[in-house]
Amino acid sequence: MKHKTVISLLMLFLVLNTGTLFSQKLVESVAGIVGNEVIFLSDIENAVAQQLWSGDRTPADRLRCNLFEEQLIAKLFLDQARIDSIEVSDSEVEGYLNERLNKFIARAGSEKALEEVFRKSITEIRADLRKSLKEQEIVNRVQSKIAENITVTPAEVKKFYSKIPPDSLPTIPAKVELSIIQLDPPDNELNKAEARQKLLDIRSEILAGKSFSTMAILYSEDKESAKRGGEIGYLSRAELEKPYADVAFSLTKNAISKIVETRYGFHIIQLIDRMGDLVNTRHILIRPKIKPEQEERALSKLDSIANLIKADSITFERAAYLFSTHKDSKINGGKLVKNDPAARTTLFTLEELDRNTYMVVRDLKPGEISKPFMTEDENGNTVFRIVRLDNQIPAHVADLKEDYQALYNAALLEKRQKRFLEWIDKKIEVTYIKISDEFKSCPFSNPLWLK
């Protein structure tokens, strides 16, 4: 149960509100006090409501107790952060804040719907989220300090692996390594000109009096923002494409931009609001459209390249360097690398591939080159590819030799969790803790809370 508590801690702060302690005396709205940190009853009720809204099927009373204990643990770390003078500024969490808020809005369907769910204005929800994310980052920094010297030796990894019951070993999903040669649509400038003209026509109708939001719903090819009338929420300059940001930050409120080109296509932008270093905009996106004859030409060229490779007239690596328009892979001989700064790996599960690539790769054998096919790149633009399956690792039960890194990470996590549990027990012993009568009957995983 203790392990479960710490795992929950690593994912906690589903939100909302925390308070500042003005008195060590419990009042009716206070659920608990930990050192100089306070847990308000409204914090717990808000968190319960959000969890239930997110689909959690845990009975409400049990969920309330679980979330309360998670808050108790979090407050221990926050109290330690105060002692150690660990702080986090608003700007450090702004990017995460916008991403989280936009996901909430998308899930609810609109800002208004989200306000109705939480019975708060979007400004209040934003403030609650900012505070929650700041506290989460502070907890992360305290935990990093506590566990900064923890390492795992190969012997410890082996011991960790050996104590897992054979029927409890995790299954590692099948993974593949791929090389690609990609072509952009031929004569795409004509397609771009047509996309610009379509957007110019839409812009003219808006300037003549039609609603930007309505036109976004009808015509924008950014389907997610189109559902919200083109609105993408408050974002910083760093979170926007540079051409988009340069224009968005230069607009006056409600003004309509000229056409802006980014790697995603062509946009017109309307400024809804600006708040410090953040802008809230709506946009309409139009992408260039590929004609059948262009598709035929691109597929034919790729087919010729594939035949040259199969005839040993050129290597796949050389062909990728000479012909591929995929910048990230062509310098690596076509080797596809996961576009994730935290995990720059060449291994992909089939589920991580786009649908078209998945349908092609699943039927290949290692070393085989696919027929040319049309798909979308990571920016949603139409491209043409051939794929070589370089390596295939079947789904298998975790093995010490083949999956050492994954087992190392799991062993390290377990060791860190053990350190956190030891730290929590010691911290409870030296920290003032007060729990309201309403929560004293909770089945806490750590009995020290009621010491």
Render pLDDT for 203-255 as a digit per residue (tens, 0 to 9): 999 999 999 999 999 999 998 899 889 998 888 888 889 999 999 999 999 99
Question: Comparing C-alpha atoms, which of 294, 287, 295, 239 is closest to residue 267?
Answer: 287
pLDDT in tens, 255-302: 999 999 998 999 999 999 988 888 899 999 999 999 999 999 999 999
Same domain, 195 and 282: yes
Report residue 116 as tokens. Answer: 């109705």
Same domain, 180 and 192: no
**Residue 121 falls in which region: left (phi positive, over 0), alpha (psi -120 to 50) or beta:** beta
Q: Is 168 part of any domain?
A: no
Q: Please tell me which of 9-13, 45-49, 260-264 the model is most confident about, judged by mean pLDDT.
A: 260-264
Q: Is 61 part of any domain?
A: yes
Same domain, 31 and 138: yes
CATH number of 359's domain: 3.10.50.40
Tell me how many domains the chain contains.
3
SS3 176: strand
CATH number of 136's domain: 1.10.4030
Same domain, 71 and 215: no
pLDDT of 7 > 90? The answer is: no
Using CA atoms, how far apart are residues 370 and 61, in angstroms rounded to an integer? 55
Which of the residue ranges 118-127, 370-379, 434-443 would you say has the lowest mean pLDDT? 118-127
Q: Is 341 part of any domain?
A: yes
SS3 261: strand
pTM: 0.61
SS3 363: coil
Phi, psi of 200, rounded to the nearest 5 degrees: -60, -40
CA distances from 148 to 14, 141, 369 (A): 26, 10, 46
pLDDT of 165 > 70? The answer is: yes
Domain endpoint, select from 286, 320, 338: 286
Residue owning tokens 């296509």: 265
CA distances from 270 to 77, 147, 250, 306 (A): 43, 47, 11, 46
Q: Is 399 part of any domain?
A: no
Do residues 230 and 270 lie in contact, with contact meaning Cβ atoms separated by under 8 Å? yes
**Residue 233 falls in which region: left (phi positive, over 0), alpha (psi -120 to 50) or beta:** left
Same domain, 381 and 414: no
- In which domain, by residue range, is 197 found? 188-286
